Structure 1
Amino acid sequence: MPPRPAAPRLTPRRTGLGLAAVSLLLLTGCFAESSGTASAEGTGGTTDARIRAAMMQPPRSALSPFSDDAFKLSRWSTGETLVRLDEAGDAQPMLATEWEQLDETTWSFTIRDGVTFHDGTELTAQNAADSLARAVAAEPAPRILDGVEMEVTAEGDTVRVSTAEVDPLVPQRLSSPQLSILAPAAYEGTTVTPVGHGTGPFELTSLDGTSGATLERYEDYWGGAAAAAGIDVSFVPDGTARAAALRAGEADVVESVPVGQAAQVDEDLLTEVPMPRTNTLYLNTEDGPFTDPALRAAAREALDPQSLVDGVYEGRADTAAGLLGPALPYAAAGRDTDEYRQALEGRAAAGDPAGQKITIGTFTDRAELPEVAVQVQQQLESAGFEVELDVREYQYIEADALEGDFDAFILSRATVLDSGDPVAYMVSDFGCDGSFNLSQFCSETVDDALTAAEQATPGEERRQAILAAEAAILAEDAAIPMLHERVIQGEQSGVEGAARDPRERELITAETTAAE
């Protein structure tokens, strides 16, 4: 963490903390005083208790909603969007109560009555449209709008959204925290200030640089007052310090406890949340040994993902049955069909590596990947390959990987991007014109499947098309999914109602409470 002007005063919520634990927290300088206590009203009402949250990364852009900082605004329930996503990734009402598609490129969203921003301004269709228009005009554009031409206007009590091309995912796009609706006063020139300008159950009242933030219950929240009195946020990049805070009772909710620290924490305080992130071995299909489908099949047969889960991730991951993991509940069910199985029946049989030399690249930025690479090397060598590893920092290896300089590349890849939909990831990684095609892969069959998925209507039709595209990709062995990662979330005993969200959009909600 960056140095602070002075260490915070600690008032432990629970008595009897060991001196060593308190000393460690003083050294890390991260946790705010907790002044509240639970009221006697019990669940269902408001309390005086505050929630102390330890977040992994400090803001990079002063909490601008146009950046990845937007996900902090949503995880603290201070910034809200027109729609939200349910577990299946389908759009549900939020600041918009309903919507309809007027034509192929135009959508209309009806704005909820009775909503006020934290500065007291009323939410109207006009200021909602103005807020979205600011995002559309931002430079650089929010990632969710990358490559999307969009125009936003107000029509009575509705917001009208028009796109240059047909886009069935417009409602899902508008669920991105990067399109949070903020009060008009939040915008001044190119600067966006979310402090005091959201619509959620908690009002962001202060941001202390990269050290912490404070939020208070917004009594006039349209959905009813939050249970907790507020949130005291500390930014704690050091994973050891976050785990120590959980052990010592100095944080109520902790983001991302490192796997290596989990054994030091009471298991009852940990929750493992499946992430839409897959650890995958991409095979170069354009140049080198893996142009041969039989050798790609040999690599697939040689790998033992369970040993990676057990050895590297200490059992805190899921072996991969496909590109998409348990964070997408429909994926497993979608594979249990005759159509899916038939798509894989034509995969090439494994050939004999016969000492083929291959180079595998990966990077050090994610701590587990170098160890994964070593185990993959051993498994492939046992099958008859001769393997050399090239491990660097990501910034020094990405360009070479994209150029196809490796025979294989190990990547921890997010499979669900900002719209909550995996099609963009599949097109990027496996489409003939994909911008992140590490496998240098091009297949007319796969491109046709991806096009069908892109054009499918959100819901069951789109989910079936997504699984059909996954099967087409796996049938070519362009990439071998190995495991799906989990994030370990810490929750102090007595915490109730904290969100366990694979998309990392929600954390502290209006229902979250922390007891004595």
Structure 2
Amino acid sequence: MKYVKKWPWMALALSVTALTGCFDGTEDANEQTSTSSATQGDRIKLAMLLTPRTGLSPLSDDAFKFSRWSVGETLVFLDKAGNLQPSLATEWEQLTPNDWRFTLRDGVMFHDGTQLTPNAVANALRTAANASPKPRILDGVSWTVKTDGDNAVIVSSTEPDPLLAQRLTSPQLTILAPSAYAENGTIDPENTGTGPFRLVKLNGSSTATIDRFDGYWGEKAQAPGIDVSFVPDGIARASALRSGEADIVEAIPVSQAPLLDPDMIREVPMPRTNTLYLNTQNGVMTNPGMRAAVRDAINRKQLVDNVYESRADIGEGLLGPALPWAAKLRQPVADPVMPAEPNGVTITLGTYTDRTELPEVAVYLAQQLTDAGFTVKQDVREYSQIESDALAGKFDAFILSRATMLDLGDPVAYMSSDFTCNGSYNLAQLCDPAIDQALQTASALPAGEARQKAIMKAENLILATDAAIPMLHERVIQGQSKRVRDAIADPRERLIISTRTHLASPEMME
């Protein structure tokens, strides 16, 4: 039987960077009217939280910088409501439960001057599918890609994948020019994207230079460029906004928000959970009773009130209030494990400094665990320096600020990555066949209530292990100067700068 699902191309050209509206894409860049002129002073100064960890490889979490800068694009993207919209592909059809056909947009140019072709798209997607390790969005997924005529590709999954098209919205599947991919396996993103801005130069882990790309297929960017600084220290980021050294700042620490003009703060709920991961394979936390003792020791309200100054929500589960359906479908864990007596046993608690609140969370949590009878040693470093140890299971407990909807617009990808036997980001070293089966069941269902119920069943099984203890759900606190116009405060943290983002002229500020 043939299954066909088709979404026709819309009358207006849409871009992943133009969620707030569309201009006429045929307008000449030199004739655009804007409150900003193409002067050096109108370049947007952006201070970002995380430094690049892989030289901006699109196969890593660095890829989300491509979408935040509007440098790279995917075949399709998710709008604010989580619905699929066209980007580099204008139509998509589900031919069979395993096969999807994507029709490519005409007239798209890569930043190196070459044209978007089916071969270029197939090359980018095959590179991701064959990578080791795979991008997180492809955890547990096996697929092949082939060209289909002069303007289409067919993506085929080994097993039916009802969310294959949604999977292709992940920035980890950004389409770069063939010139980006070297024979030795390295990927160079400079001047190889398709977005309205082009990455001119990445300067290690300190800065990046981005210019407007006037050959863009859609709406031309209003700002002439973006000057990016990577500033892991949250206090320094907030200071940069106050002093005018930055126009837009990611992740303002809650402790700094009261020190800023309220007009310079944008706060929105986000699907991000501050979670304590406990090591189920090595050390003290292999004992379920010890994990239960940690669970019962945590005072979530103290963390929310004292560390986050009430700019967060108490964690009731892995999925927070940004997904309203989760609370409605959540069931209490049946027969939770009884806590054991710690009796002074020593545990190592790790976290990282890149998110300013986490070291303070660690201090409060260490005291709570000490009061419960544990002896706690803390290890706090920059994320780039601690990630490999965390993934290797070198901590008894690890505090992580985790985005639960970053990849797919659906929490199955996050849960599979973090809590299945073969998950690529399994900090808890958890391996439970029942959880794997529950997530496999959820992944096979189409979007809708049945899938949501299956997801919450998997959440219940995960919470029952006490391998991951949700503490609180965070909010986006983004800072921007009063000159900034049309920046995006995105709960999913995929977007910041769009084609419409620009700086108002000083005359407009008077």
TM-score (norm 2): 0.77
Match of residue 172 from structure 1: 166
Contact 2:143 2:158 in 1 (8 A): yes
Q: Deviations over 1:15-53 (max 9, x none)?
A: xxxxxxxxxxxxxxxxxxxxxxxx99457x987643222
Are 1:344 and 2:332 an aligned pair? Answer: yes
Q: Deviations over 1:395-431 (max 9, x none)?
A: 789769976984x654444434533432243245444
1-structure distance, mates of 2:317, 2:341? 28
1-structure distance, mates of 2:258, 2:440? 45
Q: Deviations over 1:88-146 (max 9, x none)?
A: 55543211122222233322111122323334433232322233234445566544445
Contact 2:319 2:326 in 1 (8 A): no
Find the residue that maps to 1:128 and give its secondary structure. helix
Sequence identity percentage = 53
Counterparts in 2 of 1:69 and 1:450: CA distance versus 1, 3 Å:
closer
Find the residue that maps to 1:504 and give its secondary structure. coil
Match of residue 118 from structure 1: 111
Q: Could you tell me which runs of 5 or more consecutive residues in structure 2 were left unpaired when the two chains were aligned.
A: 1-30
Deviates more, 1:173-182 or 1:440-449: 440-449
1-structure distance, mates of 2:48, 2:124? 27
Contact 2:351 2:400 in 1 (8 A): no
Contact 2:90 2:104 in 1 (8 A): yes
Corresponding letter in the other structure for 1:176? S
How many aligned residue pairs are there? 465
Q: Deviations over 1:364-383 (max 9, x none)?
A: 4245445434433544566x
Q: How far apart are residue 506 of structure 1 and its match? A: 1.4
TM-score (norm 1): 0.76
Counterparts in 2 of 1:428 and 1:200: CA distance versus 1, 3 Å:
closer
Q: Could you tell me which runs of 5 or more consecutive residues in structure 1 were left unpaired when the two chains were aligned.
A: 1-38
Trace 1:2-21 onto structure 2 (pairs within 5 A).
Answer: none
Larger CA Rg, structure 1 vs 2 = 1
2-structure distance, mates of 1:477, 1:92? 38
The match for 1:76 among 53, 69, 82 is 69
Are 1:483 and 2:484 an aligned pair? Answer: no
The match for 1:319 among 310, 314, 319 is 314
Corresponding letter in the other structure for 2:499? A
Corresponding letter in the other structure for 1:173? R
2-structure distance, mates of 1:80, 1:397? 27
Contact 1:429 1:437 in 2 (8 A): yes
Counterparts in 2 of 1:247 and 1:297: CA distance versus 1, 3 Å:
same
Are 1:455 and 2:444 an aligned pair? Answer: yes
2-structure distance, mates of 1:253, 1:397? 27
Q: Deviations over 1:38-70 (max 9, x none)?
A: x99457x98764322223344444434334332
Counterparts in 2 of 1:428 and 1:189: CA distance versus 1, 3 Å:
closer
Trace 1:49-198 onto structure 2 (pairs within 5 A).
Answer: 49-87=42-80, 89-138=82-131, 141-145=134-138, 148-156=141-149, 157-190=151-184, 191-198=186-193
Trace 1:299-448 onto structure 2 (pairs within 5 A).
Answer: 300-326=295-321, 329-330=322-323, 332-337=324-329, 340=330, 343-344=331-332, 346-348=334-336, 356-366=343-353, 368-379=357-368, 385-393=372-380, 406=396, 410-416=399-405, 418-431=407-420, 446-448=435-437
Contact 1:41 1:47 in 2 (8 A): no
Q: How far apart are residue 432 of structure 1 and its match? A: 6.0
Q: Deviations over 1:239-290 (max 9, x none)?
A: 4432222112232112233344444432321223545432234457789799
Match of residue 227 from structure 2: 232
Corresponding letter in the other structure for 1:258? P
Counterparts in 2 of 1:139 and 1:116: CA distance versus 1, 3 Å:
same
Contact 2:110 2:194 in 1 (8 A): yes
2-structure distance, mates of 1:212, 1:288? 41
Counterparts in 2 of 1:72 and 1:432: CA distance versus 1, 3 Å:
closer
Contact 2:284 2:347 in 1 (8 A): no
Are 1:508 and 2:497 an aligned pair? Answer: yes
Counterparts in 2 of 1:401 and 1:108: CA distance versus 1, 3 Å:
closer
Match of residue 21 from structure 1: none
Contact 1:106 1:161 in 2 (8 A): yes
Find the residue that maps to 1:103 and give its secondary structure. coil
Contact 2:137 2:413 in 1 (8 A): no
2-structure distance, mates of 1:397, 1:216? 31
Contact 2:247 2:481 in 1 (8 A): yes
Corresponding letter in the other structure for 1:387? F
Corresponding letter in the other structure for 1:386? G
Counterparts in 2 of 1:119 and 1:403: CA distance versus 1, 3 Å:
closer
Q: How far apart are residue 76 of structure 1 and its match? A: 1.1
Q: How far apart are residue 305 of structure 1 and its match? A: 0.7
Counterparts in 2 of 1:405 and 1:110: CA distance versus 1, 3 Å:
closer
The match for 1:256 among 251, 254, 276 is 251
Counterparts in 2 of 1:41 and 1:445: CA distance versus 1, 3 Å:
same
The match for 2:275 among 252, 255, 280 is 280
Find the residue that maps to 1:324 and give its secondary structure. coil
Are 1:219 and 2:207 an aligned pair? Answer: no
2-structure distance, mates of 1:409, 1:170? 32
Counterparts in 2 of 1:267 and 1:432: CA distance versus 1, 3 Å:
same
2-structure distance, mates of 1:364, 1:415? 18
Corresponding letter in the other structure for 1:325? G
Q: How far apart are residue 492 of structure 1 and its match? A: 0.6
Counterparts in 2 of 1:120 and 1:246: CA distance versus 1, 3 Å:
same
Counterparts in 2 of 1:128 and 1:443: CA distance versus 1, 3 Å:
closer
1-structure distance, mates of 2:452, 2:424? 23
Deviates more, 1:360-369 or 1:175-184: 360-369
Counterparts in 2 of 1:145 and 1:434: CA distance versus 1, 3 Å:
closer
Counterparts in 2 of 1:389 and 1:89: CA distance versus 1, 3 Å:
farther
Counterparts in 2 of 1:180 and 1:435: CA distance versus 1, 3 Å:
closer
1-structure distance, mates of 2:308, 2:69? 29
